[in-house]
Amino acid sequence: MNIDTDMQYAFMTGIRDDFKTNGAYLAAQIGNPDGSDVPNKKYYDPRRWLREGEKAFITRLKKAFEDLNNVDTL
């Protein structure tokens, strides 16, 4: 197991999946499936999609702890 590589991939996966899910909102600053004059700032704000990467990172890290039998050991 290469935890560093797994974590990098998990982080990228979280961001990639978010971009796929919200692609229509990321195409322009204004205009999306909700309306032609609706702003998209909350979708292209990097803090939001970086948080999705962090969530995927956390999920993968928990899985690594389980695989390494290192849950509740302290």
Structure confidence by residue, pLDDT tens digits, 42-54: 999 999 999 999 9
Q: Give the total number of structural domains in the chain.
A: 1
Does the residue 48 lie in any domain?
yes
Does the residue 11 lie in any domain?
yes
Does the residue 74 lie in any domain?
no
**Domain membership of residue 40 as a residue range:** 3-67
Does the residue 73 lie in any domain?
no
Does the residue 41 lie in any domain?
yes
Residues 6+ apart with CB under 8 A from 21: none
Does the residue 72 lie in any domain?
no
Tell me how far apart the alpha carbons of residues 51 and 15 are, in angstroms, rounded to a whole number. Answer: 8
Q: pLDDT 10s per residue in the chain (74 long)?
A: 788 999 999 999 999 999 999 999 999 999 999 999 999 999 999 999 999 999 999 999 999 999 999 998 87
Residues forming beta bridges with residue 35, ordered by sequence position: 32
